[in-house]
Amino acid sequence: MKQTKIAIIGAGGLTGKELTKLIAHHPGFELVHVTSNQVDGKHIREVFPDLSHLPDLKFQKHDAPVPKDAGVVLATPNEVSLDKAPQFLKEGRKVIDLSGTFRLHNQTKFEKAYQFPHTEFGLMDQVVFGLPELFREKLKNANFVSNPGCYATSAILPIALLGNLRKDIQGPVIVDAKSGVSGAGGRTEEIKFAYTNVYENFRAYKILTHQHEPEMEEYGFIGTEEKEILFTPHLLPIYRGILATIYISFPKGMDPKQVEENFQVAAAKEPFVRLYQTPEEVEIRKVQNTNFLDLGFRIKGNTLVIVSALDNLVKGAAGQALQNLNLMYGYPETEGLVTL
């Protein structure tokens, strides 16, 4: 069986490491190139001694030539992706970008959220948002995919899977989410994410200013009128996982059977969506190290409360990227993801 070559730019980070592990265990993909400016020259097994089945590769710098015919995954900071994605697309490669650089179609909103000018906005006509549950058919023919954010996925999917019920939503929708440090900025050695500041502590951050808020607004309401979302993220004293509580108001009382039916249809056809009978059953520990998004709901009067959970490094990043790679290259969508 001929394998598809894959290069990971920025493989030394947390998401890059997770994707390295997934690709190394995938029967259809061959990891042929990994980069990290921080560990340039070191063998991949030296950097990731806890992972098995790793290829015989050494890390190179981001600017090193990428092997011919290799698809590229960018697990890089936003500004690096802005520089690298156009280069790889010009070379005729398939590209998945895990940063937030190519997610938003409103340039003003992007530059306000990410705080730097977007100099390649013309590429937004080519990009497909990498949420398979919403854009599966487009992803099968895509050459350029923007992987969703982790917090964003935890909110977009539950809202979008409401289907036609979304047209009656009264904004704003309130998203209250908690993440482990690997999804909340722990990719750097900033003191606020250090163990001593996280352990036995709990706090909110980027209140109403988080870059995933406009992403939730754009994609949660695809096909219907966009509603305002008010998003507050919190930092949990754990390593991985996100739990989101989503509060949605309607003009009148909702029929729980309608909501349940919509979610049941999604759970029946989507391999990585699981519906629980009660929201209390949704827990971070049930999704850690998996590509699942779990959800449950309850209705009181005209208010719908949805609780969702996912692993920010898997369904929120690397696992979703592999799901997208499978679709882009014609492999079964669940390949390499159902037995993590």
Catalytically active residues are 150
Residues for the chain: how many in total? 340
Nearest to 158 by CA among 324, 285, 334, 310: 310
If you write DSSP's letter for every residue of 32-81 in order, what string do you get? Answer: EEEE-SSSTTSBHHHH-TT-SS--S-B-B-TTSPPPTT-EEEE-S-HHHH
> What separation in angstroms does the CA of 148 have from each of 98, 118, 133, 220, 257?
7, 18, 12, 12, 30
What distance in Å separates the CA atoms of residue 51 and residue 45, rounded to the nearest whole number?
8
Please compute, for residue 143, the number of CA atoms within 13 A of its CA located in the half-sphere on the CB side. 12
CA atoms within 13 A on the CB side of 90: 6
